[in-house]
Every structure is written in structure tokens, then in C-alpha cells.
Structure 1
Amino acid sequence: MPPRPPQKPNRRMRGFEPASGLLRDRIRTVGEARGFAVSRLLTHWAEVVGEDLAARTRPVKVGYGKGGFGATLTLLTMGASAPMVQMELPKIREKVNACYGYNAISKVLITQTAPMGFAEGQAGFGPAPKAPPKQTDPAIRQRAEETAQVVQDGGLRAALELLAQNVLSRSANRAVTKKG
């Protein structure tokens, strides 16, 4: 007797399915491979620990001891943020255990990395938001253009104009602070 072809699950589609439903099994498989019994810890990290901590940390893995009690959560953070995260470890452990529903995590370890690290542990830390550009005095801008106009190369001329604006603005700011 030939083998039966695999049958499709018998279910009715009711419009669009949420993306989380489509990815649920894959997320669970990846999470379990790294020791995360509760995938919510990975997918909703910002909700579990708060926006501030989530911006500075990423959960990497959960390691279980020999007896299965007292798991260790490993977090990834940038080196400069590590001391601040270290001070908040009891709060992180408390919030993660609240996510699990019992005292699953007994210890939290910190792994420090640079923003561009190993392929496995690359952190998605973004740069700080840029400050809006300062408005320069038109007289300073005109003087910077006059200073750099002898240069033929356009890119170099633009860089020299910007440098001249910065130097002249700084000099003007120092003069104002000395008077005041």
C-alpha cells in the first residue's frame, strides 16, 4: 500500500491571520534552543523590563543548572552601559520572574560587547538621536564662504566652510561669555 500524502489541517480561514500566529512555531523553536521556555521574554522584552532597559540590553540565553532549578539569564549590553545595568540586576530578575510566573531565574549575567560584535551576538543598539543643526549667524557664514572661496575643489571648499563656521562661531561665543 503506497504511503498517504500529507493532509492539510482542517480549518477555516477567517480573513487575514496575525503574523504572530504564522511565526509562533518558529519563534518557539528558536527560543527553546536558547533555553527560553517563555518566548514572550524574547518577543516582548521592552514590555517585560521597560523601554529604558530594553534600549540598553538584549536577552541572549537562559541556562539551566543540573537540577533544573535556578536558571541563569544572560543579557547582552554595550560596555558603557554595563555598570548601570549591573545596578538594576535585582529589578531585572524580579521582572523576568514575573513574566515566567515563578522564580525561574536565580541569576542574571551581563555580557558586554561593542555595537558591532560577533555575528551571533550583534546587538541592535542604535546611535543616539542627532541634535538639530545650529543656526549660524549670517555674518559668520559669509565670512566662512569668503575664507574658503579660493579652493577649487567643491567638496574640500564645503568642508573648509564648515570648519571656518565652527571656528568663527566658537570664537564669537567665547567673546560673548568673556563680556558677560
Structure 2
Amino acid sequence: MTTRKQPMPRKSKISPADPPMRRKRGFETAGALLSATLKAPAEQRGFGEAKLLTHWPEIVGSEIAAIARPVRISWSRGFGGTLVLLTTGGHAPVLEMQKERILAQVNATYGYRAIAHVHITQTAPTGFADGQVAFRPAPPKAPPPPDPVTLSRAMATVDQVADDGLKQALARLARNVLTPRDR
């Protein structure tokens, strides 16, 4: 008579009594949590550290950050890379005069002369798909008034309604429908 061994039940990897795993002590900053995620896309554009991309306004100041955005860093065989900035055509002369200041501030961030040159690329507001400068939108235009003849016919129909709340709602609807819109 042979006895057949019963399979042992498998133990779960984590038992309910075990405390949850902790990454570090206390809370972590959002930058620390996202650094691994941001590292690969930043390195594809030549940025060894994503700090230049994520802290751009603090590095160069809010005035320059509003008109320019770093696009990539190209490295040559010599010492120091070339930082490429994207801006609109009207802001390029301002950035051209600020090149030395930008260079000094970026190198101070890295702690050594990592960047040797700053290259400015100009584009229109609807330029490159990647790395567009955030442009301020034009203020919204007021819509043109509706056709007075058509509006008066619609209001004549609305005036036949007895309920005042419904009459006001229908008048607003007529104005909204008859007002031409840019689509």
C-alpha cells in the first residue's frame, strides 16, 4: 500500500500580519517620486538631470521663463554642451542680450561649466509640435449681434408665452441660437 502525498498549501508572499513595506522614513516629495519617471524622457533630449526642465523659472527667473523654454542640450566632444532655447521671433533679441546671464545661471545650477553655449531657436506660436513656448492667448472677442429681423420674429413668438420664467428662458435661448459663433 503506497501512500500518496498531499500537496502542501502555498503560503502567500505577504501575510496579513506583516506590516506594509515602507520606501523610506516619512513622506517623500513629489520630485523624488517622479524623478525616475522623468529621467528617461529628459535624457533623450540631452538633459542629464531633469532639474533644468522642472525648475526652469527658478533657475533663470520668471521674466526669461515666460518667453523661453529649454528644448535640448547637445553635447560635443569638447567640454561643455549647447543649450537650445525656444522662443518667439519678437523675444529673440532680448534673449540674445541675456545669453551670458542665462549661461551663468544654468552653470551655477549644475555646479560646473556644463553648458558652453546658448543657442536660440525662434518659432511662431503654432510652431514645432514638441517644446512649444506657452504663449498668451488673445483676449476673447465679443460675438457679433444676431440679425435684428430674425431676432424680432423670435421674440414675437416668445411673447405669446404666459409664464414669465419660461418666457425669459426662451428669450435667452433665442439670442444664443441666433448669435453667430466662430467654429
Please say whether Structure 1 and Structure 2 have the same fold, judged by a TM-score greater than 0.5: yes
Cα deviation, 1:7-64, whole Å, max 9, x if unaligned, reads xxx5357676433232111211111111112321110000000000000000001111
Correspondence for 1:34 among 45, 49, 58: 45
Shift of the alpha carbon at 1:99? 0.5
Relative to structure 1, the CA distance from residue 74 to residue 150 in structure 2 (aligned partners, 3 Å threshold; closer, same or farther) is closer
Shift of the alpha carbon at 1:103? 0.9
The answer to whether the aligner puts 1:74 opposite 2:84 as a matched pair is yes
Relative to structure 1, the CA distance from residue 153 to residue 14 in structure 2 (aligned partners, 3 Å threshold; closer, same or farther) is farther
Q: Distance in 2 between matches of 1:32 and 1:123?
A: 20
**Amino acid in structure 2 at the alignment position of 1:48:** I
After superposition, where does 1:1-180 map in structure 2 within 5 Å? 10-12=21-23, 17-67=28-78, 69-127=79-137, 151-153=148-150
Structure 1 counterpart SS, 2:148 = coil
Structure 1 counterpart SS, 2:122 = strand
Cα deviation, 1:143-163, whole Å, max 9, x if unaligned, reads xxxxx99932557x989xxxx
Q: Distance in 2 between matches of 1:78 and 1:120?
A: 14
Relative to structure 1, the CA distance from residue 77 to residue 13 in structure 2 (aligned partners, 3 Å threshold; closer, same or farther) is same
TM-score, L = length of structure 1: 0.62
Structure with more helix by fraction: 1
Percent identical:
48
Relative to structure 1, the CA distance from residue 111 to residue 16 in structure 2 (aligned partners, 3 Å threshold; closer, same or farther) is same
Which segments of 5 or more consecutive residues in structure 1 lack a partner in the other structure? 1-9, 131-147, 160-180
TM-score, L = length of structure 2: 0.62
Q: Distance in 1 between matches of 2:147 and 2:64?
A: 51
Q: Distance in 1 between matches of 2:38 and 2:126?
A: 24
- CA-based RMSD: 2.9
Structure 2 counterpart SS, 1:97 = helix
Cα deviation, 1:86-136, whole Å, max 9, x if unaligned, reads 1111110010010110111110000111112221232222237x5xxxxxx
Q: Distance in 2 between matches of 1:40 and 1:15?
A: 23
Question: In the alignment, is the contact (CA less than 8 A) between 2:69 and 2:87 conserved in 1?
Answer: yes
Structure 1 counterpart SS, 2:149 = coil
Relative to structure 1, the CA distance from residue 112 to residue 104 in structure 2 (aligned partners, 3 Å threshold; closer, same or farther) is same
Which segments of 5 or more consecutive residues in structure 2 lack a partner in the other structure? 1-20, 140-144, 152-174
Q: Distance in 2 between matches of 1:102 and 1:114?
A: 34
Q: Distance in 1 between matches of 2:146 and 2:94?
A: 49
